[in-house]
């Protein structure tokens, strides 16, 4: 009855009083960060890192340095997120610092293909490992994988439409399970080391085969950084964190070192069970590890990978992307609230106080991305755009330090940290352009296409009456169907 009375009060006091609540705690924040980072990458990237580096020693160094680079980026985003304490992540920061044109270029790339494609890949990966025990040693059929992937998308969409708290609590459970699964790999790796299976780590072998090509060595960072991507997740949910200044910093301080340790130890465990040549020959490194060491319990690892990727998919829909910094439904909401995207995306469901329109559209776009046989090429070209966007965003933070030195900054980093991160990001952009000019040019073309779209549909103020009437009609009908209302101009959460 109290809930009903509160809902009635919200209706009576007008749409502007309907707010999404501050419900995410420090535990939710850490779990969200861990879940979004520890996804399919740690089960798929080790082979790519080893292939590019050529040796066990250098691959472990790359994993460690990638964790450090991700920590630098996360710290930069902590300063930006506490200086601009609004949801929306990179879109919001670019909008505040550089204005709507630059922000729209970023959101356009993610709205059209980036985010949906990333979510589709994660759902396909989850489906493949869910079906692995039923079809091994043959690959699962295309149709079966797509149907299970679609089911996963539907489930996480429902969870996020039903309750932010439910999604966060479910995410906590799944994060615990998948970190526990990685713990099994690490423990069995430790047992192998105790038994003396250290041949890959002996001085004569650890750097054997190291590549002499600097370009190849740098390419290895892409695979590792893909596994680490997602460290900026909490910035998209600043308005839903309790005590965001404290919890944002502590979540990063706890989760990033923990993820780095888990990833390095997991890779060490892999190398206790197989040689570098055997790892390169395996299409599923974690499954090969399980087959070697777990015996009749080897089915645990495919299940663990399925749990891991499903948890990542859930958190992607709760916040935003794991791979290459893709925007998901909350940045879409913020962009819609600013008038950059359709207004319906900024509305929330009256009874559940959840961003139902943005979630539903997110899932629908992702379902379309399940159709192609290969979406990984699209993800590869978006890597260039991602690192370019990171460099621009942190450069904007530096610009604001110069332009607005008196702006309140609850967290202020040593200047060397953002400068170093910008230089490293630009270096990654340069390397990717040299190594994959076609994909990078395609990424630039996608960014450039945002300019005429923004000029016609957003910047042009004197639109014909028929266009405005049609837009209003569609918005009103969708509001009635979904039972959603605007959140209010400030979007200040309770």
pLDDT digit string, tens, across residues 262-304: 999 999 999 998 888 888 877 668 878 888 888 777 777 777 7
pLDDT for position 125: 76
Hey, CA dihedral for 193, 199, 201, 202, is it positive or negative? positive
Q: 28 near 242, Cβ under 8 Å?
A: no
Q: Which residues contact 225 (CB under 8 A, 6 or more apart)?
A: 66, 69, 70
**Cα distance between residue 136 and residue 445, in whole Å:** 41
**Cα distance between residue 260 and residue 257, in whole Å:** 5
Does residue 82 surpass a pLDDT of 70?
yes
Does residue 88 surpass a pLDDT of 70?
no
pLDDT for position 173: 66
Which one, of 344, 335, 183, lies nearest residue 263 by Cα? 183
**C-alpha distances out from residue 1 to 7, 8, 17, 452, Å:** 10, 10, 19, 51
Does residue 198 surpass a pLDDT of 50?
yes
pLDDT for position 5: 34
**Cα distance between residue 280 and residue 56, in whole Å:** 12
Q: Domain spans of the chain?
A: 2-485
Does residue 133 surpass a pLDDT of 60?
yes
Region 97-101: mean pLDDT is 88
3-state helix, strand, coil in the chain (%, to 5): 75, 0, 25
Cis amide prior to 76 (ω within 30 degrees): no
Region 61-83: mean pLDDT is 90
**Cα distance between residue 93 and residue 96, in whole Å:** 5
**Mean pLDDT of all residues in the chain?**
77
Buried b (16+ CB within 10 A) or exposed e, 54-66: bbbbbbbbbbbbb
pLDDT for position 9: 38
Hey, CA dihedral for 142, 148, 149, 150, is it positive or negative? positive
**What is the percent of the chain with per-residue pLDDT over 70, rounded to a whole number?**
77
Q: Which tokens go with 144?
A: 């079966």
Region 148-167: mean pLDDT is 76
- Lowest pLDDT segment from 161-175, 321-335, 371-385, 420-434: 321-335
DSSP string, 177-202: HHHHHHHHHHHHHHHHHHTT--GGGS
Answer with the residue of higher pLDDT: 260 or 465: 260
**Cα distance between residue 441 and residue 436, in whole Å:** 9
Q: At what angle do helices 244-273 and 164-194 cross, to 10 degrees?
A: 40
pLDDT for position 301: 77
Cis amide prior to 137 (ω within 30 degrees): yes
pLDDT for position 491: 40
pLDDT for position 396: 93
Region 450-457: mean pLDDT is 84
Answer with the residue of higher pLDDT: 435 or 200: 200
Does residue 418 surpass a pLDDT of 90?
yes
Cα angle 257, 410, 175 (rounded to 5 degrees) comes to 35
DSSP state of 350: T
pLDDT for position 17: 44
**Cα distance between residue 158 and residue 32, in whole Å:** 18
How many CB atoms lie under 10 A from the CB of residue 375? 18
Which one, of 220, 221, 219, lies nearest residue 69 by Cα? 221
Region 443-459: mean pLDDT is 84
Q: pTM for this structure?
A: 0.74
Give me Rg for the CA atoms of the chain. Answer: 23
Region 212-228: mean pLDDT is 78
Q: 120 near 366, Cβ under 8 Å?
A: yes
Which one, of 462, 444, 478, 233, lies nearest residue 360 by Cα? 478
Does residue 377 surpass a pLDDT of 80?
no
Answer with the residue of higher pLDDT: 473 or 89: 473
Give kind and range of the element (H or E) at residue 402. helix 376-403
pLDDT for position 147: 92
CATH 2.60.40.10 fits 2-485, yes or no: no
């Amino acid at each position: 009855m109290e809930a009903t009375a509160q809902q009635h009060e919200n209706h009576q006091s007008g749409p502007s009083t309907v707010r999404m609540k501050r419900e995410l705690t420090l535990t939710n924040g850490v779990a969200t960060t861990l879940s979004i980072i520890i996804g399919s990458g740690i089960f798929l990237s080790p082979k790519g890192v080893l292939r590019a580096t050529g040796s066990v020693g250098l691959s472990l160094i790359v994993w460690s340095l990638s964790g450090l680079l991700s920590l630098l980026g996360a710290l930069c985003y902590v300063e930006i997120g506490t200086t601009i304490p609004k949801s929306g992540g990179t879109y919001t920061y670019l909008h505040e610092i550089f204005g709507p044109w630059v922000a729209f270029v970023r959101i356009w790339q993610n709205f059209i293909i980036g985010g949906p494609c990333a979510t589709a890949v994660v759902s396909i990966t989850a489906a493949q490992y869910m079906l692995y025990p039923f079809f091994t040693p043959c690959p699962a059929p295309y149709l079966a994988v797509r149907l299970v992937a679609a089911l996963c998308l539907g489930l996480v969409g429902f969870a996020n439409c039903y309750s932010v708290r439910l999604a966060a609590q479910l995410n906590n459970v799944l994060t615990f399970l998948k970190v526990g699964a990685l713990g099994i790999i690490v423990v069995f790796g430790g047992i192998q080391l105790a038994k003396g299976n250290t041949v890959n780590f002996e001085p004569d072998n650890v750097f054997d085969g190291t590549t002499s090509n600097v370009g190849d060595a740098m390419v290895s960072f892409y695979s590792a950084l893909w596994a680490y991507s997602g460290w900026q997740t909490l910035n998209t949910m600043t308005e839903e964190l309790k005590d965001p200044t404290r919890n944002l910093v502590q979540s990063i301080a706890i989760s990033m070192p923990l993820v780095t340790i888990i990833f390095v130890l997991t890779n060490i465990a892999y190398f206790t069970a197989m040689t570098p040549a055997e790892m390169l020959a395996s299409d599923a490194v974690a499954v090969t590890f399980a087959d070697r060491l777990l015996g009749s319990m080897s089915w645990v690892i495919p299940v663990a990978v399925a749990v891991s990727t499903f948890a990542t998919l859930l958190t992607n829909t709760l916040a935003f992307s794991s791979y290459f910094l893709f925007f998901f439904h909350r940045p879409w909401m913020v962009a819609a609230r600013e008038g950059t995207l359709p207004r319906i995306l900024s509305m929330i469901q009256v009874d559940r106080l959840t961003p139902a329109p943005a979630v539903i559209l997110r899932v629908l776009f992702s379902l379309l991305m399940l159709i192609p046989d290969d979406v990984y090429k699209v993800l590869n070209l978006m890597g260039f755009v991602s690192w370019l966007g990171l460099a621009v965003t942190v450069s904007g933070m530096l610009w604001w330090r110069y332009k607005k030195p008196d702006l309140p900054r609850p967290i202020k980093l040593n200047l060397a940290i953002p400068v170093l991160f910008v230089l490293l990001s630009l270096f990654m952009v340069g390397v990717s352009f040299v190594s994959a000019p076609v994909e990078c040019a395609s990424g630039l073309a996608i960014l450039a296409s945002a300019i005429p779209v923004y000029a016609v549909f957003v910047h042009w103020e004197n639109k014909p009456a028929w266009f405005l009437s049609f837009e209003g009609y569609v918005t009103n009908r969708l509001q009635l169907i979904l039972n959603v209302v605007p959140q209010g101009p400030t979007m200040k959460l309770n």
